Amino acid sequence: MLVILARRLAQAGLVLLLVALISFAIFRFVGSPVENILGQEATVADRNELIERMGLDDPIPVQYARFVWKALNFDFGISYRTAEPVADLIASRLPATLELAFISALMALAAGILLGIFTAINRGGLLAGFVMTTSLIGVSLPTFLIGVLLIWLFSVELGWLPSFGRGETVKLGFWETGLLTASGLKSLILPAVTLGLYQMTLIMRLVRSEMLEVLRQDFIKFARARGLPERMVYFRHALRNTLVPVTTVAGLQLGSIVAFAIITETVFQWPGVGLMFINAVYFVDIPVMSAYLLLVGTLFVLINLIVDLLYLAIDPRIRDRNLRGG
Amino acid sequence: MKSFNHILGAGVLAASVAMSGFASAETLRWARSGDSLTLDPHAQNEGPTHALAHQIYEPLLHRDMAGQITPALATSWKALDDNPNVWRFTLRKGVTFHDGAEFNADDAVYSFKRAMLPTSAMKELLTSVKEIRKVDDHTIDMETNGANPLLINNLTNLFMMDSGWTEANNASAPQDVAAGETTFASQNTNGTGAYMLVSRVPDQKTVLKANPSYWGKGQFPLAASEIVYTPIQSAATRVAALLSGEVDFIQDVPVQDLGRVAGQDGLKVVTAAQNRVIFFGMNSGKADLETDNVDGKNPFADVRVRRAMNIAINRDAIKKVVMRDQSSPTNVIMPPFVNGWNESLDQIPAYDVAAAKALMAEAGYGDGFSITLNCPNDRYINDEAICQAAVGMLGQIGVKVNLDAKPKAQHFPLIKNKTTEFYMLGWGVPTFDSHYIFNFLVHETTENRGSWNNTGYANADVNAKIVALESETDLAKRDGIIGEIWAQVQEDQLYLPIHNQVLNWGMKNGIQFDVQPEDQPHFKYLVMN
């Protein structure tokens, strides 16, 4: 067990170093923040002075070494746009994104698994067919379009739900939550649905096909022959055996929910790290962009690590094989 | 008498509450695409930042909703008769800051000196200032290096701070944005303005409330008692928020949604010409261009080619098709409010492909040439679409244009580093005077002038005239020089002007609010009924 963990951690470190290199390299060449900072009236002399003060004229390797060293110390520099430390900026924005991602993943997982089982059991049924067909919308429409459609329907036409923002929030220590107020919860519905729709559809279709596969196997027949109630057969025996691929996909999707919240956050003006990233791109706020990329990279690596460990818990065969091999 | 006024005021207020359809009668919910960058009034020279600052802080004088210079914290100003190098400002009496401190000459002198410090983003506007002196408690003198007849044009965004408050909170120097500094003054405010800061979360929400002891009470409508400002980036969401009644007033209504907003019951769109002109620049100074297919010479160097391109652009078609009628075509790189503008300069040339082709042939480019056009895609209204239209139009006279559209962050360095040879640029004129355009776009590039002039144009006579404008105190003579420079610029066809942008503000029907040509709402002028 420890051997596996150590091996995985070493791999994770290597991946992160590469991510750091890429995030530095891409954004080092993405454009110049100087014009944005100085504005229209600046003279040539002002420009040169600013470039020198920001260290933008140092050799590239020097700038990269400085970047990695500081990142290791959680110092991601200062935002060119708001002049706040990037670490503080991310810390203040992360709760909004994590709440949105968590709620939408939860919704996607619960609805996806239930609908997946339903459509698998009632294969060929009218309602199941309808669910399968409409679920195509979830995979085929781009997120921003779904968001705009939902806003149009529920905010503009019906006037039920707010079209932007996070509503009232409550501060619990450093964590600013929107889950404890009515307006906060109302504001969460549209973005969470928008963000989770794709994942829900994906999980539903995955669970369905896995279920159909499993239900054909002998041990299900034996379980039925033993006279076990249908519910027991489906949820205890069949579902459990579909969970390995579902865990992989759901875990990786959680990472992409956080990473791709960018679009949903922009459409709904959700004040999370995704919106912060978009703002940073418009403004060529290089420190924020690199820190965000590192954050998302770390998140994916962490989630992969957790998924790997979860396999061991769910499927003892993998654990045994690894122990024998390692 | 005072108590009578009070009752009357309360009655009017009650009536307006009863008549209005607003969720909370006095709250104005305002949205635009971007947020202010800082609360320090001298740290950024940028539109949305000034827009918020104008509610909280005040300059000595500002541009009202019609764009006219109007007294704010100064009641009058004039250049001294015996010394035209000195401007004397009489300050308003009985003005207090939000914390109760009185505004006086010491604060004014202090604020100007602060705005001239190295970390200030406003210092370029005060480069001609030699010294600022207090004369008495409510009078200050501003002495310039040589006479500067248009100094006051530069002061409309120079906000007054309280010297005591600023010093006590260690904010004596403007926030150093480039060094990533935050100061007390970048996160807190103490101005004299009609609104006071209640709370602010950058990029999310800023709440202001009416200043109970504002000096302008009774002179301005001051209809909103609370302002909630939310930046909403996505244009569709911003419009949806207005349509669904979640906000009362939005700036930046996208062109394609104008009909939707105007057609909705209870909403309207107010439109006015913006202080921003859009044009193309060509590098006519280089010996040979890199992105063209002509060896050994620069086709732009021939004025006939530049003139041919100018008449090959169908400005009316761009207005109609690309801008959906939301632009005013022009033939001069100067918005109509600017001193020096006149209708004959603005008059667009006849669109004439045959004449353009003849000019091209005369210049020896009858078979045309190819060239790369650099264009931003996220800066001006429909910027990339305008460039695409121009590509087609120039193709008709044999100029084969390769379009290279990029985000502004990559586009503007091309101009500043002088690497682009054919480019789009937009220009606003905050001083409302031609000199500002000449200084940045026409003067040869030197250490302190011509920083946006990427045409390679270097005309010593024009340079000298531009410098002369800065100290010419005889305004009639000065206007004469401006006219001469414009005549030369038009003669040399330095740029290809396209149009002036149009501003659209969307709001509830109950709001009376004119569009300000600099896109700067001053909410003390806003009326709700």
**What is the domain-level CATH number for residue A126?**
1.10.3720.10
Identify the CA nearest to B224 among candidates B244, B198, B252.
B198
Cα separation, B451 vs B154, whole angstroms: 18
> Which of B230, B410, B428 lies nearest to residue A31, judging by beta carbons?
B410
Cα separation, A147 vs A268, whole angstroms: 8
The mean pLDDT value for B133-153 works out to 90
Across the interface, whether the CB atoms of B124 and A30 are under 8 A apart is answered: no
Of A186 and B54, the one with more pLDDT = B54
pLDDT at B117 over 70: yes
Does A245 fall in a domain?
yes
Q: How many CA atoms lie within 13 A of A236 on its CB side?
A: 10
Does A217 fall in a domain?
yes
Do the Cβ atoms of A293 and A23 come closer than 8 Å? yes
A contact residues 112-171, partner B, Cβ 8 Å cutoff: 148, 151-152, 155-156, 159, 162-166
Phi, psi of A126 (to 5 degrees): -65, -50
Cα separation, B495 vs B422, whole angstroms: 10
Token code pair at residue A66? 């400085």
Across the interface, whether the CB atoms of A40 and B45 are under 8 A apart is answered: yes
For A35-71, what is each residue's pLDDT tens digit?
A: 666 666 667 777 777 777 766 677 777 777 777 787 7
Across the interface, whether the CB atoms of B175 and A43 are under 8 A apart is answered: no
Cα separation, B457 vs B285, whole angstroms: 6
Does A30 fall in a domain?
no
By mean pLDDT, which of A165-174, B166-175, B330-339, B496-505 is the weakest?
A165-174
Query: Beta B61-63 vs B369-376: how paired, if at all?
Result: unpaired
Distances in Å between the Cα of B479 and the Cα atoms of B54, B87, B525 are: 31, 20, 32
Q: What is the pLDDT of residue A31?
A: 62
Cα separation, B404 vs B62, whole angstroms: 39
Do the Cβ atoms of B483 and B25 come closer than 8 Å? no
Contacts of A30 in chain B (CB under 8 A): 409-410
Cα separation, A252 vs A52, whole angstroms: 42
Hey, is B523 helix, strand or coil? helix
In this structure, what is the dihedral angle of CA atoms B391, B392, B398, B399, given to the nearest 10 degrees?
Answer: -10
Q: What is the pLDDT of residue A29?
A: 66
Q: What is the pLDDT of residue B125?
A: 84
Token code pair at residue A58? 């140092």
> Which of A38, A45, A159 lies nearest to residue B448, judging by beta carbons?
A45
Token code pair at residue A287? 């420190």
Contacts of A87 in chain B (CB under 8 A): none
Chain B residue with the nearest C-alpha to that of A34: B413
In this structure, what is the dihedral angle of CA atoms A203, A263, A265, B35, given to the nearest 10 degrees?
Answer: 170
pLDDT at B44 over 90: no
Q: How confident is the model at residue B209 (pLDDT cuts 50, 70, 90)?
A: very high
Cα separation, A308 vs A236, whole angstroms: 23
Token code pair at residue A216? 């054909």
Q: What region does A165 belong to: left with phi over 0, alpha with psi -120 to 50, or beta? A: left
Across the interface, whether the CB atoms of B244 and A155 are under 8 A apart is answered: yes
Does A170 fall in a domain?
yes
Task: Estimate the share of chain B in helix, then strand, then coil, as percent rounded to the nearest 5.
Answer: 35, 25, 45
Cα separation, B206 vs B192, whole angstroms: 18
For B367-410, what is each residue's pLDDT tens digit?
A: 999 999 999 887 888 899 999 999 999 999 999 999 999 887 77
Q: How confident is the model at residue B77 (pLDDT cuts 50, 70, 90)?
A: very high
**Which residue segment(s) compose the domain that A257 sits in?**
95-285
Across the interface, whether the CB atoms of A155 and B178 are under 8 A apart is answered: no
Cα separation, B50 vs B48, whole angstroms: 5
pLDDT at B439 over 60: yes
Contacts of B241 in chain A (CB under 8 A): 155, 163-164
Does A77 fall in a domain?
no
Q: What is the pLDDT of residue B121?
A: 84
For B316-347, what is each residue's pLDDT tens digit?
A: 999 999 998 889 999 999 998 899 999 999 99
Identify the CA nearest to B80 among candidates B12, B139, B166.
B139
Q: Where are the beta strands (DSSP E) in B80-119?
A: 86-91
Q: Where are the beta strands (DSSP E) in chain A?
A: 170-172, 175-177
The mean pLDDT value for B115-126 works out to 87
Do the Cβ atoms of B181 and B188 come closer than 8 Å? no
Cα separation, A228 vs A221, whole angstroms: 10
Cα separation, A61 vs B23, whole angstroms: 57
Across the interface, whether the CB atoms of B440 and A279 are under 8 A apart is answered: no
Contacts of B260 in chain A (CB under 8 A): none
Q: What is the pLDDT of residue B4?
A: 39
For testing contact with chain A, the best of B175, B444, B451, B452 (most A CBs within 10 A): B451
Residue A38 at interface with chain B, using a CB cutoff of 8 Å: yes
Token code pair at residue A108? 């996607």
Give chain A's residues under pLDDT 70: 1, 26-33, 35-42, 54-56, 314-326
Does A220 fall in a domain?
yes
Distances in Å between the Cα of B279 and the Cα atoms of A11, B135, B310, B360, B501 are: 53, 46, 11, 21, 11
For B218-269, what is each residue's pLDDT tens digit?
A: 899 999 999 999 999 888 899 999 999 999 999 988 888 888 888 888 999 9
For testing contact with chain B, the best of A29, A30, A41, A267 (most B CBs within 10 A): A41
Cα separation, A35 vs B408, whole angstroms: 10
Token code pair at residue B223? 């209809």
Task: Estimate the share of chain A in helix, then strand, then coil, as percent rounded to the nearest 5.
Answer: 75, 0, 20
A contact residues 43-62, partner B, Cβ 8 Å cutoff: 43-47, 50, 53-54
Cα separation, A128 vs A121, whole angstroms: 9
First to last CA, chain B: 26
Across the interface, whether the CB atoms of A82 and B201 are under 8 A apart is answered: no
Token code pair at residue B418? 């002088």
Contacts of A152 in chain B (CB under 8 A): 240
pLDDT at B16 over 50: no
Sequence-ordered list of residues with C-beta below 8 angstroms from that of B3, at least 6 positions apart, any chain: none
Identify the CA nearest to A279 among candidates B136, B48, B309, B64.
B48
Sequence-ordered list of residues with C-beta below 8 angstroms from that of A239, at least 6 positions apart, any chain: A113, A117, A207, A211
Token code pair at residue B5? 């006024």
Hey, is B529 helix, strand or coil? coil
In this structure, what is the dihedral angle of CA atoms B285, B289, B290, B291, given to the nearest 10 degrees?
Answer: 120
Look at the alpha carbons of B175, B181, B182, B184 in this order and tell me if their dihedral is positive or negative: negative
- Distance (Å) from the C-alpha of residue A281 to the closest C-alpha of chain B? 9
In the block, residue with structure tokens 């690497």: B419
Identify the CA nearest to B58 among candidates B69, B73, B46.
B73
Identify the CA nearest to B231 among candidates A157, A86, A144, A279.
A279
Identify the CA nearest to B379 among candidates B333, B404, B402, B410.
B410
Average pLDDT, chain B: 89
> Which of B246, B378, B409 lies nearest to residue A36, judging by beta carbons?
B409
pLDDT at B46 over 90: no
Question: How many beta carbons lie within 10 A of that of residue B501, not counting itself?
Answer: 23
Does A228 fall in a domain?
yes
User: Percent of chain A scored above 90 by pLDDT?
Assistant: 2
Sheet of B139-144: strand order equals B74-79, B86-91, B139-144, B129-136
Across the interface, whether the CB atoms of B237 and A43 are under 8 A apart is answered: no
Residue A79 at interface with chain B, using a CB cutoff of 8 Å: yes
Chain A residue with the nearest C-alpha to that of B181: A83
Q: What is the pLDDT of residue B1?
A: 37
Question: How many beta carbons lie within 10 A of that of residue B70, not counting itself?
Answer: 13
Number of domains in chain A: 1
Q: How many CA atoms lie within 13 A of B204 on its CB side?
A: 19
In the block, residue with structure tokens 């670490």: A87
Across the interface, whether the CB atoms of A155 and B230 are under 8 A apart is answered: no
> Which of A36, A156, A271 lies nearest to residue B204, judging by beta carbons?
A271
Token code pair at residue A272? 């999370």
Q: How many CA atoms lie within 13 A of A43 on its CB side?
A: 16
Do the Cβ atoms of B503 and B255 come closer than 8 Å? no
Residue type, B44: Q
Contacts of A271 in chain B (CB under 8 A): 201, 203-204
Contacts of A284 in chain B (CB under 8 A): 409
Cα separation, A265 vs A278, whole angstroms: 9
Cα separation, B333 vs B495, whole angstroms: 8
Q: What is the pLDDT of residue B23?
A: 41
ipTM for the predicted complex comes to 0.74
Q: What is the pLDDT of residue B3?
A: 40
Element (H, E) at B166: helix B163-168
For testing contact with chain A, the best of B36, B45, B158, B203 (most A CBs within 10 A): B203
Does A86 fall in a domain?
no
Token code pair at residue A40? 């229209």
- Distance (Å) from the C-alpha of residue A322 to the closest C-alpha of chain B? 49
